[in-house]
Structures are given as structure tokens and as C-alpha cells.
Amino acid sequence: MTSAKEKDVKDVAANFDFHGEALDTIFDTYATLRSKCPVGRSEKYGGFWFITKSDDIFAAEQDPETWSVRPSMMFPPVTDAELPPIDSDQPEHTDYRRILLPLFTPKELKKLEEPIRETARAQAAEFLAKGSGADASYGYARPVPTIIFSNLAGYPEEDWPKFDQWVDDIIYERVERPEVMRAAEKAVYDYFDNLLDNWKDDPESSTLIDYLCRAKINDKPLTRDELLRYCYLLFLAGLDTTAWAIRAGIWHLAHNPEDQQKLRDDSSLIPMACEEFLRCLSPVQAMARTCLKDTVVRGQEIKAGDRVVLAFGSGNRDEEIFPNPDKVDILRQENRHLGFGGGIHRCLGSNLGRRELVVGIEEFLKVVPPFTPADPDQKWHGVGPLNIKF
Amino acid sequence: MKVCIDENLCQGHARCVFFAPDVFEIDDEGYANVREGMENVPADQQDNVRKAAANCPERTIIISE
């Protein structure tokens, strides 16, 4: 006989989802799954396996020969095409990734330190001027990465106002309203097609688009199709994730005035606090793989061809790795989280994203006086409104 | 204390240079190395190196004491 509890766990597994409202209670879901069903099967999105323990996720990340990223790491996908380099297996992955890798090293990013800080400071001042009750998401967390990344990538300033809506439609509407996603997907491809049509090789310019257009793989430039897919990926990766991370940091500090005061009293704690935001409130809760050969994970057989979701957000709260895992502990010293993934597909922009988050929080706290939530019902996740009182 | 990095595993997260910038460095391609002469870790850097190892997402820093 199946006990009520076992049935509950089966329900939790079968309904496991990591988008939209499911995120409201996902940390409880993770805890249930880790203890009762660490590898299991959800019936959502046509069915997929999920892996929730940190060590199992890490092992999969280190084994790209068993776990392919094709046809899409994002799940459900954000487009039909495979996006380089996140949806590319080796050897193509290495070729694609190498084009931009040197631009995202800590050394290169030092050059961006002042522009990041100036942008954050100016945006914080603009936000402050809106007054108590203003929305720190649309008023700060979103514009900061839009400005920084658009300058780096080479997106003209007059186009920036269109970006938020495209990101919202592609990332956040794809589950409930796929037709909205499709329209935005087309708009973004058309936008980059036009940008590439008008691209000129100016030796003084060194944007990400310039690097992509000048790049050669085996002596051949990238095709227009490859360029478009790469641009589409950068557009989504550079804007949404960082906005979420900054918003989530502000959300935590609004809800936890003691933590906020600690960071105000000692700003040298901010980088460590940001690691904790990335561990606990990460914009990337899960990424997908496709199993290439029959394998067994924690006793569960998984067949070649099956889709598998690596639940980073669960691994980041694994009690076997992190003591008191559900506590956001801004002083946590050992923090080997998977907020940026790991292995060969480690987030290419992690060093940039990290700097934007840290500097974004530093400048916000310098400019904006102590703040609390204006609407305590606004959730920790996503890039929607976050109104604060100060 | 001796330290080395398994270069095949490093993916360039750069956490090591955050915790122990005097011991580790990142090359032009974005991967970590132990700075020349730092393979034998000076006493005043050992705590930093332990923190770097504990925070490396790829578990690529090898310490022998």
C-alpha cells in the first residue's frame, strides 16, 4: 500500500516546475525532493528528469560526453535554434566560446570598473529622486545591466527602451503565452539582422558585436545565421540574469534590515553577501541537458535521449554541502555554489555579472537611505516590480 | 603547505584570486595559475588559500600539508 506521504512526494515530483508561480514555494519543493526523491521525473513540459543534489549536478556538469546541452540548455527553449555557445557541444563549443572568452577575464573587466560604478551611481541617484515607494526593479536593477551590457555589446542607446519588453516576453511569457514569446523572438532576430546589415569594421571600436563579426573559426567568418544566434543568446544572457540578481539582493536587504545595516556599516562584506544572494536567490534555478548514453544517477536509470534538468537552485541549498542551507547568511565563508553553473559551460559572463551585482549593491546602499518593502507580497524571484519605502 | 591547480579542471570562475590574490593569478585567457614562487605557500597566506579552495566551484585547487 502506498502511504499518503509517498503519494505526496510523487505528486511533488510529477508537478515539479521551476518557472512562474512555482518559484514562490520552490525552496520547500527542493527540500522535499532532495530528501525523498533526489532524482525523479516531472510530467511538465512533455516530461523530464530532474537532479537535485549538488554532487550529482556537479558530476553531470563535469561530464559533457554523457550530458549534451543540445538542443537547448534553457528549458523550455527560448527559440527553436541552437544558441552558441550554451547549446553547443564540443568541439564547436570551444570554438564559439573562445571568441569572447578573453573579453570576460578579470583583467579585461578592470577596464569596466569605473563605467560600472558611474552607471550604478547615476542610476541610484535617479532612483532616489523618484522618492519613497518607487520601484527598485524598473528604476534600478534593470537599467544598470542594460546600460553596462549594451555599451559593452554595442547596442545603440536609442534602442534600449525596447529591451525590457522583449526580455519579459521571451523569458517570462514563454510558458504561459508562447505566442507572445514568438513575436518577441522574431523582433529580436530582426533587430540583430538589421544591426548586422549596418555593421562596419571600425578599428577604433571593440564591442562584443565587433568581436563576433571579426571572428574566424577554421579561417572562416561566422555565417549570418551563426551571428544571429550568438547575438540572441548574448541579448538574453546579458540583461535578464543580472537584473534579477540585483533585484533579488535588494529584495533580501529590504526584508532583512539587520543584514542591510551590517552591509551599510561595513561595505567590505558586500562581495561575500552577493555570493550568498547568488547561492540562495539565483536567476538561474535550473538548466537542461540531454542524456547521450544510458546511465544511472543515484540509482535511477536514465535513457539516452531523455531530457534532464539540473536543478542548480536545489544543489545550492543542499544540506550535505551547506550547513543551515536555507538561511541566507551574508557572512558565509565557504560558498561553493553553482549560481553560474560549472564545467565547460560555466557562465561566460560570470565575472562581469558578479561585478555588476557587487557594485550595484554598493552604490545603491551608498545613495539610498535605509529601506523596507513597500509591498511585502512582491516575490523574491523574477524582474517584476519591487517597491521600497525609504 | 603546497598548492597547485589542476589546469584541466579550471573554468575561470576566478574565485581564487578574490580570496588569495597574492597566490593566484588569472592568465589572458581567463584561467587560474599559482603565481611563480607561491607553490610553497607562505604562512600568512595559508588561510586565504584554504578559503580559495573551499570556494572553488570546480574543486580544482589541490592543497598538500
User: Which among A11, A131, A59, A61 has a CA at the least distance from the CA of A346?
Assistant: A61
How are beta strands A216-217 and A220-221 bridged, if at all?
Answer: antiparallel
CA torsion angle A271 A102 A62 A12 (round to 10): 50
Cβ-based contacts under 8 A for chains A and B? 56
Residue type, A221: P
CATH of B2-64, one of 3.40.50.10860, 3.40.50.1980, 3.30.70.20, 1.10.10.10: 3.30.70.20
Q: In the prediction, which pLDDT does A3 show?
A: 66
Nearest CB among B27, B28, B55 relative to A336 is that of B55
User: Which among A237, A206, A210 has a CA at the least distance from the CA of A346?
Assistant: A237
The string of pLDDT tens digits covering residues A328-377 is 999 999 999 999 999 999 999 999 999 999 999 999 999 999 999 999 99
Contact of B17 with chain A, judged by CB distance below 8 Å, is answered with: yes
Q: In the prediction, which pLDDT does A5 show?
A: 75
Q: What average pLDDT score do residues A311-327 get?
A: 98
The string of pLDDT tens digits covering residues A59-112 is 999 999 999 999 999 999 999 999 999 999 999 999 999 999 989 999 999 999
| pLDDT confidence bin for A6, thresholds 50/70/90 | confident
User: Which among B1, B64, B13 has a CA at the least distance from the CA of A101?
Assistant: B13
To test the contact with chain A by mutation, choose from B9, B10, B11 the residue with the greatest count of A C-beta atoms within 10 A, namely B11
The string of pLDDT tens digits covering residues A21-62 is 999 999 999 999 999 999 999 999 999 999 999 999 999 999
Query: Given a cut of 70, is residue A267 above it in pLDDT?
Result: yes
User: Which among A208, A213, A101, A112 has a CA at the least distance from the CA of B28?
Assistant: A101
Identify the closest residue of chain B to A353 by CA–CA distance: B13
Q: In the prediction, which pLDDT does A108 show?
A: 92
DSSP H or E run through A238: helix A224-255
Residues from chain B contacting residue A342 (CB–CB below 8 Å): 11, 13, 57-58
Provide the 8-state DSSP code for B40: B
Residues from chain B contacting residue A346 (CB–CB below 8 Å): 11-13, 57-58
Residue type, A94: T
Going from N- to C-terminal start, the domains of chain B cover 2-64
Q: Where are the beta strands (DSSP E) in chain B?
A: 2-5, 24-26, 32-34, 61-64
Residues from chain A contacting residue B17 (CB–CB below 8 Å): 106
Mean pLDDT (chain A) is 96
Contact of B1 with chain A, judged by CB distance below 8 Å, is answered with: no
A42 beta partners:
A48
Contact of B28 with chain A, judged by CB distance below 8 Å, is answered with: yes
Q: What average pLDDT score do residues A292-309 get?
A: 98
Could you check whether the bond before residue A91 is cis, i.e. omega within 30 degrees of 0? Answer: yes
Confirm if A41 and A50 have CB atoms less than 8 A apart. Answer: yes
Report d(CA A214, CA A200) in Å as an integer.
10
Give the three-class secondary structure for A302: strand
Q: Tell me, what's the ipTM?
A: 0.96
Q: In the prediction, which pLDDT does A2 show?
A: 56
Q: In the prediction, which pLDDT does A185 show?
A: 97
**pLDDT tens for each residue of chain B, 65 residues long:** 999 999 899 999 999 999 999 999 999 889 999 999 999 999 999 999 999 999 999 999 999 98
Residues from chain A contacting residue B18 (CB–CB below 8 Å): 271
Domains of chain A: 4-389 (1.10.630.10)
Report d(CA A78, CA A96) in Å as an integer.
19
| pLDDT confidence bin for A180, thresholds 50/70/90 | very high
Q: What average pLDDT score do residues A141-169 get?
A: 96
Identify the closest residue of chain A to B50 by CA–CA distance: A334
